[in-house]
Structure formats: structure tokens, C-alpha cells
Amino acid sequence: MPDPIRILVADDHPVVRDGLIAMLGTQPDFQIAGSASTGSEVVRRTVELQPDILLLDLEMPEIDGVEALRQLRLIQPEIRVLVFTAFDTDERILGAVRAGARGYLLKGAPREEIFNAIRIVSQGGSLLQPVVAKKLIQRVAEVNQREQNKGLIESLTLREEEVLQLLARGMTNKEIASELVITERTVKFHVSSILRKMEKGNRTEAVRTAVELGLVKI
């Protein structure tokens, strides 16, 4: 018979913590290694007890669960953490996953789902509830888009940004040249540079993308 999965239960609410311990104790392949009620205690007890799984709430006194995760990642990077919390905000989910959480469950999940998640994470797998996975995917997409926008904005010169804004206003090269007091040839050079950096085939596509990314206002 394989060794039981040793679990450290971390939650700042005594009733919730005791309830989790009692519930997990009904499973023959689970063993409660200990418990923690503060973020600092989570770090200390994890290092001390070396559990197979840390079942962690994010709302903890002293330091929160995400910060405890970050500290543990530096001290004990192999620790397998399953977040079990009421927080379902994008920032919290992304922060926990980035800090090293292997799984993320929301309180209110069915008992069998909790048991299953613990077993999966203990074996080196990862698990996110569908609602959590959806939020995480959306959040990552938003972050990636912002990074893309940032890179694009930084790649454009101040003059190119000015030209792009005037393009968005429907101005011709001649009108842009007059507005900026430069030659039409210089305008054409800037437009070509903008299209190359934005990887667009024409100015209409460039303007459309710039509007979608919030680079210009119409």
C-alpha cells in the first residue's frame, strides 16, 4: 500500500480549518501533517513538516497566501501547493499561479473535487476549476496584449506617433506634411516605417489596429 498523502492545511479561520481537517481525515490515503493559521506560519511549518501537499487559503494574516507562496518557492521550490480560497479575481488567480500554485479551487467546491485535486497535485499534476481556468486564460491574454501594446508603443518614435495620429484623422501625406511642417517624402518614410513596425500592408490596417490597441483616438 502506498504511503498516505501528507497534507498541511493552511487557513486563518479555525472553523474552516478544523472542518477541512475533519473532511480530509475521512480519506484513507490522506494524512494531516499539520496546520497553519498565518502566512508566516505557513512558510515555517512547510519547511518544518515537509508535507506532500500544502492546501492554502490566500487570505492570511501577517503575509498573504501569494507572498507565502513566493517565499516558499525560494526556500522549497519543489513544494506542491493547492490553493483553496474564496478569491476568484483575475489578479489573485494569476498571482498565485505565477508564484507556483499547482492547483486552484474555490471554496464551495464539492468534496470529491477537492479530494481529486489533492491526489492529482500530489502526483505532480495540475488542476484548475473550469471557471478559474477561464479567468486565468482571459487574464493572461490581457497581460500579453498589454505587453504587445507596450512593445509596439515603445518601438514607434514620437514623430511616427504623430503621423499615425494624423493618419487616423484621415489626412493625406500632403496634409500631414503641411500639419507637421515636413516634406511629403519624409511623411512617406514615416508611414513606411509605421507599416513595417506594425506589420501591416496599408495605412487603413495600421489605423484600425492602432485604434484597437488604444494607440490613437479618432
Whether residue 24 contacts residue 32, with contact meaning beta carbons closer than 8 Å, is answered with yes
Pairing relationship of beta strands 30-36 and 53-56 according to DSSP bridges = unpaired
Residue 9 bridge partners (DSSP): 35, 55
Q: Give the span between the Cα atoms of 121 and 28, in whole angstroms.
A: 17
Q: Give the span between the Cα atoms of 214 and 161, in whole angstroms.
A: 12
pLDDT at 9: 96
At 45-103, the pLDDT tens digits run 999 999 999 999 988 888 988 899 889 988 888 889 998 888 766 677 777 878 888 88
State which residues of the chain have pLDDT below 70: 1, 88-90, 127-154, 218
Close Cβ partners of 64 (under 8 Å, ≥ 6 residues apart): 39, 58
pLDDT at 88: 67
